[in-house]
Structure 1
Amino acid sequence: MSSDILQRLGTLSLSVKHLSHLPRFSDLIPSSLPSSSPTVTASQVPVLFREPYILSGYRPVQQPWRYYLLSLFQRHNESLNVWTHLLAGPVLLLRWWAHAGALGFTFDSVSLPLSLFLVSSLTYLFFSVAAHLFQSHSEHAHYFFFFMDYVGVAVYQYGCSLGHYFYTSEAAWRESCIGLLFLPGAAFFGWLSCAGCCFAKSRYRRPYPVQRKICQLIPTSLAYMLGISPVVHRLLTVSWTQEPSMPFHALQIASFLLSALFFSCPIPERFFPGHCDLVGQGHQIFHLFLSLCTMFQLEALFQDYARRRDTVLEIFGEKQLWWACVSFPALILCCFLMALITMRHMTKQLQSKQEREK
């Protein structure tokens, strides 16, 4: 009896011994998955990645690409910057689908500017998400993705201008000097916006001087003031009670101005250093108001499109519609070339820096 028990105990111990050689569940989890506490403080990342008054919540640099992709589902100081624009995309598409279904929307020359507005909106949202999600990988990635972000901003500016010109503008404004030069001016200022932001990013180092903001804000402000001019003219000359799009246009301007305020000034984190590391940064609020601005633009442009779609061809002619829209991919190409040229310059600088450090 005792010998049977001893034999069974020996068999059991042998089985346990074999089990001990099996991999543990934790060993099956890929090492590239983010850990439960992956963030580091500002002092643990290079100066390039530090934001003023944000003291913690940074992701370490030089991790595998999969780490940054999966950081989408973690808390860090870029989380809300990613999600505010990531969620705006599907919401924008749903609203588009709802309006298109209600209006019996068809893709033709009349609807092409409206379609390009949607493409431009999704472009800037996508590049913004990519920039904030992957920029922490390395200095090279940081510059590349933010240069692409600037391309998205320029494309969005021109997409808005197309919608405002063909669906919102009044005849008196179109006959003015601004109206006559509007489309080529909008394309030029869109490119200038991209060029100014790329130059500022490549030229100045942290802590950024005020000149950097000037290089960014002057061309983007000029592009915005020109692009919004037909809307402002209409708001000041047309009765709001007769035009359902007017409140949405007013809301898009208010949202954009608030977004510009939070983009330009590091508030509220300036007054509460370390307390807005994960939630409440000015850039997060900027993203939120910019997303709202895009939503209000979509609502307003669909209202204007519904009102004018039967007269657009008569007013502008099919030739002008197509030429204006052909300039859209041309602008994208010019902005991409500007970003790639600037990136090539930055790559040489980074290589020289690495050689000096060796």
Structure 2
Amino acid sequence: MLSIKLPQIFDVHQVPKVFWEDGIISGYRHPHSSALDCVLSSFQMTNETMNIWTHFLPTWYFLWRFVILCSTLTSLSDSYTWPLLVYMLLICVYPFTSSCAHTFSAMSAESYHICYFFDYGALSLYSLGCAMSYGSYMMPDSWVNSWLHQHFVPIAVGNSVFCTSLSCYSRFLELQCPQRSKALRTAAFVVPFIFDTVPLFYRILLFFGGGSTDHLSNHCYHLLFAVLSCFLFTSHLPERLAPGRFDYFGHSHQLFHICTVAGTHFQMEAVLADMTSRRAWLTAQGATPSFLGTFGALVVSLTLNLGIIGIFSAPLLRKPRNHCFSFNPST
């Protein structure tokens, strides 16, 4: 009978320091795992298993919503729907890329960094998708056709390049300056988030000033989960309070994944509602998205981000094998 032997797992002091996570004591995979071992490890309990599944399963939910959306559109040539299509595509890409990064990051110290380079690149593209949808469907009435509205997507492309560059660079500081590395990585994602949500913040201020309340509840839920996600990402709670207690279930990165997915769900519902309810008014204002400002911007951003990932990956790929981090499971 065919039998499959699951990979061995290790404690924190049995793996190189580059793999260490704050407050996580056990459940580490072999730091030179094969691709097959990485896949098999997703079906055993390690400290990465829930990280893999909390983004892999939502990928299929978002993909299902994307397929349903495409089937309901009367024509894919309708330029008004293009920002939505780009956004929906990217909310499928970022959790899938994250799941793959967590799955295959144990192949080597170099792959550990490169996998997360791609993860950061996918999140940067997601921020661009948010900017496209916000700029196309959520811009306050008084801002439509303004300078900011016309340049919202080009600035977002620049933000995506900034995000990927700074977050990838932060990984090279992780061992020597962990606090600076975390601060730079957090800033890399907070800056695009703040820029993307400027129109939303303004609409919320209008609401408190007596303006329209259309669809703001889902937006507020999204912002709540975004704040929780940032807190969990930076605090490493609860595992820092009780090291070893949350190695497999309930540590901050798992909760971070759950909050990001929940926030994206509410954001998606808000985008769909605004896109439908404001169509007639936005079209009448001549605020019709262009091919260059949607798919063109996506291609440009994708090309630039892949180039950045290649630049940061090159020195790791050129590193001789005998310079890799040593591994002694008996220590």
TM-score (ref. length: structure 1): 0.83
CA distance in structure 1 between the aligned counterparts of 2:257 and 2:136, rounded to whole angstroms: 27
Match of 2:3 among 25, 29, 33: 29
CA distance in structure 2 between the aligned counterparts of 1:162 and 1:131, rounded to whole angstroms: 26
CA distance in structure 2 between the aligned counterparts of 1:177 and 1:310, rounded to whole angstroms: 22
Give the share of equivalent positions with the same residue, in percent.
24
Match of 1:204 among 166, 173, 187: 173
Task: Name the CA shift for 1:269/1:111 in 2 (closer, same or farther; >3 Å).
Answer: same
Match of 1:217 among 171, 174, 186: 186
Q: What letter matches 2:61 in structure 1?
A: V
Count residues with an aligned counterpart.
324
> Larger Cα Rg: Structure 1 or Structure 2?
1
**Residue matched to 2:301:** 331
Would the aligned equivalents of 1:182 and 1:226 in 2 still touch at CA under 8 Å? no
Would the aligned equivalents of 1:34 and 1:70 in 2 still touch at CA under 8 Å? yes
Matched, 1:236 2:205: yes
Deviations 1:87-115 (A, max 9, x none): 111222334455666x6554221111001
Alignment of 1:183-332 (within 5 A): 183-201=153-171, 203-206=172-175, 208-238=177-207, 243-318=213-288, 320-325=289-294, 326-332=296-302
- Displacement, 1:242? 5.5
**Residue matched to 1:138:** 108
Would the aligned equivalents of 2:144 and 2:287 in 1 still touch at CA under 8 Å? no
- Displacement, 1:197? 0.5
Task: Name the CA shift for 1:207/1:84 in 2 (closer, same or farther; >3 Å).
Answer: farther
Matched, 1:57 2:27: yes
**Residue matched to 1:20:** none
Would the aligned equivalents of 1:89 and 1:122 in 2 still touch at CA under 8 Å? yes
CA distance in structure 1 between the aligned counterparts of 2:105 and 2:188, rounded to whole angstroms: 24
CA distance in structure 1 between the aligned counterparts of 2:326 and 2:231, rounded to whole angstroms: 39
Task: Name the CA shift for 1:106/1:292 in 2 (closer, same or farther; >3 Å).
Answer: farther
Task: Name the CA shift for 1:151/1:258 in 2 (closer, same or farther; >3 Å).
Answer: same
Would the aligned equivalents of 1:193 and 1:219 in 2 still touch at CA under 8 Å? yes
CA distance in structure 2 between the aligned counterparts of 1:316 and 1:330, rounded to whole angstroms: 25
- Bigger relative CO (Cα 8 Å, ≥ 6 apart): 2
Would the aligned equivalents of 1:140 and 1:350 in 2 still touch at CA under 8 Å? no
Q: What letter matches 1:204 in structure 2?
A: L
Deviations 1:115-144 (A, max 9, x none): 100111111111100110110111121121
Q: Secondary structure at the match of 1:236?
A: helix
**Residue matched to 1:122:** 92
Deviations 1:218-250 (A, max 9, x none): 232111110011111112214899654210001
Would the aligned equivalents of 2:24 and 2:246 in 1 still touch at CA under 8 Å? yes
CA distance in structure 2 between the aligned counterparts of 1:97 and 1:248, rounded to whole angstroms: 22
Match of 1:47 among 10, 17, 22: 17
Would the aligned equivalents of 2:109 and 2:325 in 1 still touch at CA under 8 Å? no
Q: What letter matches 2:123 in structure 1?
A: V
Would the aligned equivalents of 1:249 and 1:296 in 2 still touch at CA under 8 Å? yes
Q: Aligned-residue CA RMSD in angstroms?
A: 2.5
Task: Name the CA shift for 1:157/1:316 in 2 (closer, same or farther; >3 Å).
Answer: farther
- Displacement, 1:349? 4.5
Would the aligned equivalents of 2:54 and 2:257 in 1 still touch at CA under 8 Å? yes
Unaligned residue ranges in structure 1 (runs of 5+): 1-24
**Residue matched to 1:346:** 316
CA distance in structure 2 between the aligned counterparts of 1:186 and 1:352, rounded to whole angstroms: 41
**Residue matched to 1:153:** 123
- Displacement, 1:162? 0.4
